[in-house]
Amino acid sequence: MVREQYTTTTPGTSLERPKNEYVYKIGIYGWRKRCLYLFVLLLLIILVVNFSLTIWILKVMWFSPTGMGHLRVTKEGLRLEGESEFLFPLYAKEIHSRVDSSLLLQSTHNVTVNARNSNGEVTGRLNVGPKMVEFHGQQFQINSKDGKPLFTVDENEVVIGTDKLRVTGPEGALFEHSVETPLVKAEAFKQLR
């Protein structure tokens, strides 16, 4: 066991200190100390870069406690303001526009709206393309503002529920089979043929 020895001298006397053959340096010295400082400095630089990148991402993506950018989280669900582009299909229970503006859906090819049952099978499809509007389903119905059916189509029949049907084409209407109506009338001052 190493023991430290202390010698005290009074002024004017000279005593030689004993040589310490067993003096140990405590701590890290030399290249190990430099490597440790370099490692701590490197960790500090990584911490500062990581923190600054996190702040930059938060600023660029407009993160806030209520949402991200134009996307806000509300009690009713998500609120998306402004124009947005969806690269993949959008699944939603309800889509509303603001009270003072209309809802606009745009596509370079077509806009397709699918209705699915609880098993995930498509039960109705509305496809709006550049040249035609196509509907697949059991029944297609157009209603008035009051909820009165104006036009209904299914596999068996076509029902027009308006009080008056007007055919404005130059050739009129062509029926391959019989037609039943309570009144046929020509325009004013024109002949009925």
- Would you state the structure tokens that stand for residue 179, as one six-digit string? 């037609």
pTM of the predicted structure, to 2 decimals: 0.48
Give the pair of three-digit tokens for residue 23: 């003096």
Tokens linked to 189:
């001052």
Residue the block writes with tokens 């509007």: 133
Residue ranges per structural domain of the chain: 24-78, 106-163
Residues 6+ apart with CB under 8 A from 115: 122, 123, 124, 125, 137
**How far from 176 is each of 34, 180, 192, CA to CA, in Å?**
99, 13, 19
Look at residue 45 in the predicted model and tell me its pLDDT: 98
Residue 189 bridge partners (DSSP): none
Largest CA distance in the chain: 149
**Mean pLDDT, the chain, whole residue set:** 83
Q: Per-residue pLDDT for 7 more than 60?
A: no
pLDDT at residue 182 is higher than 90:
no
pLDDT (mean) for 96-124: 84
139-176 pLDDT per residue, tens: 989 998 898 999 999 988 888 888 887 778 888 778 78
Pair of tokens at residue 96: 């509303």
CA distances, 122 to each of 60, 112, 149, 183, 190 (Å): 39, 12, 24, 42, 50
Give the pLDDT mean for 38-52: 97
pLDDT at 133 over 80: yes
CB 85 within 8 A of CB 107: no
Top-confidence residue, 118 or 1: 118
Does 54 score more than 70 pLDDT?
A: yes
